[in-house]
Amino acid sequence: MLRRTILKAGAALALVTSLATVASAELSGPVNYIIPFGPGGESDISARLQQPFFKEKFGQDLVVSYQPGGGGAVGWASLNGLSGDGQTIMGVNLPHIVIKPAQKDVGFKTEDLNIFHMFHFTPDALVVTADSPYQTLEDLVADAKANPGQVTISGSGKASANHLAQIKFDKMTGATTTYVPFKGTGAAVTALLGKQVKAEWGYTTVGAAQGDAVRLLAVAMEERHPLFPDVPTFKELGYDMVGGAYRGIALPNTASDETTKMWSDMISEVNGDEAFRQKMLDAGFALLDVDAAEMDAFMAERKEEYLKDAREAGLIK
Amino acid sequence: MNFDHFLTAATPFNLCLALFGVAAGTIVGSIPGLTATMALAVLVPITFSMDPASALILLGAIYTGALYGGAYAAILLNTPGTPSAIATTFDGYPMAKKGDGDLAVALACFASVCGGLIGAFALLLLAPPLSKVALAFGPVEYFWLSVFGLSLIASLSTGNLMKGLAGGAFGMILSTVGVAEISADIRLTFGSQTLISGFGVVGTLIGLYCIPVLIDLVAVPDRHLKVEKDVKSVRIGEAFGLAMRSKFNLVRSSIIGTLVGILPGAGGSVAGLVAYSEVKRGAKPHQKFGEGEPDGIMAVESANNATVGGGFIPTLVLGIPGTPPDAIVLGALLVQGVRTGPTMFQQSGSIVYTFIYGLIIATIMMLPAGLLIGRYAYKSIVTIPKAVLVPAVGFMTIIGTFAIRNSISDVVIMLCLGVFGWVVARFGFAASPIVLGLILGPIAEQGFVQGWTIGAATNNLAGMFFGRPISQGIIAFTLITLILPVFMARRQTKLLERNAK
């Protein structure tokens, strides 16, 4: 009797296991999700937000690991040497993957990256402290015009999304500001809160994280961010600025078309989850749904714009 | 902040998590190359299914344990298990060589618990006001802080100043290789793809400290560490007595650690160095720092564990992570739906306070867990025959270096640096100044560039670098550190002359 029960239980267990295997047909175990930066940045946070939803939908863990170096270049240069069996994926960031290889040989080319999904972006935002004399964007522009160079603005890195935003903004407004590069958004925000600089080129995520301590003067979106209904877009104020840092995920280029398709579908499904979208919006992100099929057109458009901006700014030849 | 939160933190489940976390962290930290950051990154998904406070307690306990575990390898193998334990090697390894390794391990445990508790209580009681320290430090202050750290080279390399400075300069040059952190320039790679990633701190630490030790172990026939006939158990009573006698040193170093921990971008290694330099400056005549002085170990170990509580202050109050492990905790909180930042103490007060009590409990648990693991670590290192010890440690250095970012070229760089370190050590160049230069170089460079950019934009360069009160304070400390040893030496020779007459 007992033996039969055990046998039955064993059979049931085997059945359940095989069903589970069918459900995630091509994933053979936990997935190594490499972030080519240190922890705590926007890339890390958005990967962390994906983790529980991915586990729930596909039964496998996304194991995040960090491989910082060379502003992401070290990770991207190593990506295509990794196994393309679908068990390893890596975060990619725009404009980094366009600007870096255009500046110098960093061991990879933009076209080499097998990007299968761009799932969000952090819109550029001009941020000041809550007690800043700049109440509106025009206050800052007027000050920067009256005192050229005296308005110091922190941001993350050089030839980065923040830096490109500053260059573009100066050109559009005719004002002259001074860009002070910091190591990562956290350090740039610290400098702003400590009043080392007068403003910060950041993202909507900074507004979400800092709450009442800061004021966003404008955001670079087509429409206002749902989290900040009172913050105008640059467009509303007469400056045609829409953009920010875009983030997606890539596979090694040895991955088969089926594997790429599977991953594109899986991340699309996570991105389609209402609860996930809400968590992303609450953290200040803006969602993007560019899957593998649309990637080439999307990348071509972004690449053209970044290279044009960077060339005009003298960041690349 | 009431008693309820303490009771929530002290549920049997949370106590188990704290104990497990501390023990696991200690073991991870003791292996050079495996860092707290790595352990936390892997464990974060497990915490998604826990309630936020338990998750935080587990993560905090691992972090605390790892900072203490870093001392084992520093004391017994002259290799910092984590960058925070760099200054632990200064007196820890000499103590172990004299046969006092067991005492040193116990001292490190008492000091770590003391530092951890003071840091955690600062977080509990003073977090909002102390978070302002993080904001008061601008680029220029970081520049001067790193200059202060570099001035330690002068006091570290007594009688060998030029070689120390040359080592420090070499370390700073190493730090510039690869993609520059803020200007994004690619420097000194000579067209090599391998060098784009630059010289990582952990890989360099393993190479410069551990490989020369291994070479020496093979080169000389003596035992690795001197051992008295019978291997005593960890000398707890003696260590406790020494710790009690150094109350002032422990408290001062813990406060230094807490304050440095608050500064995002400084971290445990800087905290340990600053505390070491302070305790050395006040040395009594009978104390010989660098030759196995217990106060040196206690200063460093209490300071680096105090950075745990200190680092969580800007993380929780301002939403600005102080260290990479803090950044992972911040990410874990976000996923849990907890908003860090200015309103957190009001809105999510129960989670925050439960976490802080959990951290305190974990730190106290480090006492028994740390002493026990320390005893085994010591016994196994001194009793294992060399023929087993050397290959085992050698294997770990390679695995540890590879694990940082799965890169074989990191391993090659580590081994080359190791052989280089062994060769230059024959000529009197120590590893510590090189590593100091490597760690502090980028902090100095970034601070200088940013300070200069802001100063030039506002036409106030001199005021920027010399006119700010905190900068002036740090400059004054630097001058004292540099000048005092010269002055003291001169006075001593005069006294000797007078006595001779």
Report the C-alpha gap between A23 and A28 in whole angstroms.
Answer: 11
> In terms of Cα–Cα distance, which of A195, A224, A192 is closest to A206?
A192
Query: What ipTM was estimated for this complex?
Result: 0.88
> In terms of Cα–Cα distance, which of B77, B61, B64 is closest to B400?
B77
The residue of chain B with its CA nearest to that of A69 is B197
Residues A102 and A134 in one domain: no
CB contact under 8 A, A77 and B193: yes
For residues B220 and B24, the model is more confident at B24
- Mean pLDDT over B262-289 rounds to 87
CB contact under 8 A, A194 and B135: yes
Task: Report B:71-100 residues touching A (Cβ under 8 A).
Answer: none
Residues A70 and A146 in one domain: no
pLDDT tens column, B373-389: 998 888 888 888 888 98
CA dihedral B472, B477, B479, B482 (to 10 degrees): -160
- pLDDT level of residue A23 (50, 70, 90 thresholds): very low
Domain assignment of residue A225, yes or no: no
Q: How large a percentage of chain A has pLDDT more than 70?
A: 92
Q: Which domain range does residue B198 map to?
A: 3-500
Q: Which residues of A touch B319 (CB under 8 A)?
A: 209-210
Report the C-alpha gap between A134 and B48 in whole angstroms.
Answer: 41
Alpha carbons within 13 angstroms on the beta-carbon side of residue B285 total 4
**Other beta carbons less than 10 A from residue B376's beta carbon:** 11
Report the C-alpha gap between B116 and B121 in whole angstroms.
Answer: 9
Domain assignment of residue A228, yes or no: no
CB contact under 8 A, B38 and A191: no
| pLDDT of amino acid B228 | 60
Q: How far is A198 from chain B (nearest CA, A)?
A: 10
Question: Per mean pLDDT, which range of A23-37, B336-350, B380-394 is the poorest?
Answer: B336-350
Domain assignment of residue A304, yes or no: yes
CB contact under 8 A, B342 and A211: yes
Report the C-alpha gap between B195 and B188 in whole angstroms.
Answer: 8
Residues making up chain B, counted from first to last: 501
pLDDT tens column, A258-295: 999 999 999 999 999 999 999 999 999 999 999 999 99
- Which two tokens mark B257? 């650690």
Q: Name the residue facing B454 among A52, A180, A189 (closest C-beta).
A: A180
Q: Name the residue facing A152 among B37, B42, B454 (closest C-beta).
A: B454
Q: Does B183 reach chain A within 8 Å, measured CB to CB?
A: yes
| pLDDT of amino acid B56 | 86
Q: Tell how strand A88-94 and strand A244-251 pair up.
A: antiparallel
Domain assignment of residue A158, yes or no: yes
CB contact under 8 A, A194 and B137: yes
Q: Give the predicted TM-score (pTM) of the model.
A: 0.89
Residues A214 and A130 in one domain: yes
- Are A201 and A170 in contact by the 8 Å Cβ rule? The answer is no
Report the C-alpha gap between A165 and A161 in whole angstroms.
Answer: 6
Q: Which residues of A touch B265 (CB under 8 A)?
A: 183, 187
CB contact under 8 A, A157 and B458: no
Report the C-alpha gap between B428 and B375 in whole angstroms.
Answer: 33
Q: Which domain range does residue A275 map to?
A: 29-120+244-312
| pLDDT of amino acid A22 | 40
Q: Tell how strand A62-66 and strand A31-35 pair up.
A: parallel
Helical axes B324-335 vs A42-58, angle rounded to 10°:
50
- Are B308 and B257 in contact by the 8 Å Cβ rule? The answer is no
Q: Which residues of B touch A41 (CB under 8 A)?
A: 327
- Tell me which amino acid residue A222 is: E
Compute the C-alpha angle A79/A82/A85, nearest 5°: 115
Helix (H, G, I), strand (E, B) or coil at B460: coil
Instruction: Please state the φ and ψ torsions of residue A154, each to the nearest 5 degrees.
Output: -85, 160
| pLDDT of amino acid A155 | 96
- pLDDT level of residue A7 (50, 70, 90 thresholds): very low
Helix (H, G, I), strand (E, B) or coil at A152: strand
Q: Which residues of B touch A209 (CB under 8 A)?
A: 319, 339-341
Residues A198 and A175 in one domain: yes
Task: Report B:427-456 residues touching A (Cβ under 8 A).
Answer: 446, 449-450, 453-454
Which residues have CB under 8 Å from B311's CB, separation 6+? B261, B262, B267, B321, B322, B323, B325, B326
> In terms of Cα–Cα distance, which of A164, A210, A205 is closest to A314?
A164
What residues does A125 pair with on adjacent strands?
Answer: A202, A219
| pLDDT of amino acid A16 | 45
- Are B197 and A70 in contact by the 8 Å Cβ rule? The answer is yes
Residues A102 and A84 in one domain: yes
- Give, in order, the Cα–Cα distances in Å from A263 to each of A77, A295, B447: 21, 13, 42
CB contact under 8 A, A66 and B318: no
The number of domains in chain A is 2
Q: Name the residue facing B138 among A74, A194, A213 (closest C-beta).
A: A194
CB contact under 8 A, A196 and B138: yes
Q: Residue with structure tokens 């099929």?
A: A293
The number of domains in chain B is 1
Greatest extent of chain A over all pairs of C-alpha atoms, in Å: 92
- Which two tokens mark A53? 């939803």
Domain assignment of residue A70, yes or no: yes
Residues A116 and A248 in one domain: yes
Residues A149 and A134 in one domain: yes
Report the C-alpha gap between A148 and B304 in whole angstroms.
Answer: 44
Domain assignment of residue A131, yes or no: yes
User: Could you give the residue ranges of the DSSP H alpha helices within B98-158?
Assistant: 101-136, 139-156
- Mean pLDDT over A240-249 rounds to 95
The residue of chain B with its CA nearest to that of A149 is B457
- Are A42 and A247 in contact by the 8 Å Cβ rule? The answer is yes
Residues making up chain A, counted from first to last: 317
- Tell me which amino acid residue B27 is: I
- Give, in order, the Cα–Cα distances in Å from B467 to each of A261, B140, B464: 60, 10, 6
- Are A62 and A217 in contact by the 8 Å Cβ rule? The answer is no
* DSSP letter string, A267-304: HHHHHH-HHHHHHHHHTT-EEEEEEGGGHHHHHHHHHH
Residues A139 and A51 in one domain: no
Domain assignment of residue A172, yes or no: yes
The residue of chain B with its CA nearest to that of A100 is B184
Report the C-alpha gap between B142 and B279 in whole angstroms.
Answer: 22
- Which two tokens mark B309? 């509580």
**For chain B, percent helix, then strand, then coil, each to nearest 5?**
80, 0, 20
Report the C-alpha gap between B407 and B401 in whole angstroms.
Answer: 8
Alpha carbons within 13 angstroms on the beta-carbon side of residue B123 total 35
pLDDT of A317 strictly over 80: no
- Are A200 and A217 in contact by the 8 Å Cβ rule? The answer is no
- Are B151 and B293 in contact by the 8 Å Cβ rule? The answer is no
Helix (H, G, I), strand (E, B) or coil at B117: helix
Residues A37 and A98 in one domain: yes
CB contact under 8 A, B335 and A48: yes
- Which two tokens mark A313? 């700014």
CA dihedral B415, B382, B436, B211 (to 10 degrees): -10
Preferred mutation among B177, B193, B468 to probe A, highest tally of A CBs within 10 A: B193
pLDDT tens column, A187-227: 999 999 999 999 999 999 999 989 889 999 999 999 999 99
Helix (H, G, I), strand (E, B) or coil at B441: helix
Q: Name the residue facing B197 among A65, A70, A178 (closest C-beta).
A: A70
- Which two tokens mark B217? 């172990």
CB contact under 8 A, B450 and A181: yes
> In terms of Cα–Cα distance, which of B85, B89, B76 is closest to B431?
B89
Mean pLDDT of chain B: 88
Q: How large a percentage of chain B has pLDDT more than 90?
A: 49
pLDDT tens column, B328-346: 888 888 777 777 776 777 7
Task: Report B:135-164 residues touching A (Cβ under 8 A).
Answer: 135-139
Residues A248 and A305 in one domain: yes
Q: Which residues of A touch B453 (CB under 8 A)?
A: 152, 178, 180
Mean pLDDT of chain A: 90
Q: Does B347 reach chain A within 8 Å, measured CB to CB?
A: no
- Mean pLDDT over A165-171 rounds to 94
Greatest extent of chain B over all pairs of C-alpha atoms, in Å: 78
Q: CATH no. for residue A141?
A: 3.40.190.10
Residues A111 and A249 in one domain: yes
> In terms of Cα–Cα distance, which of B453, B446, B419, B495 is closest to B213?
B419
Q: Tell how strand A88-94 and strand A31-35 pair up.
A: parallel
Domain assignment of residue A105, yes or no: yes
Residues A145 and A279 in one domain: no
Helix (H) or strand (E) run with residue B328 in it: helix B324-335
Helix (H, G, I), strand (E, B) or coil at A94: strand
Burial class (CB in 10 A: 0-12, 13-18, 19+), B44: buried
**Other beta carbons less than 10 A from residue B209's beta carbon:** 26
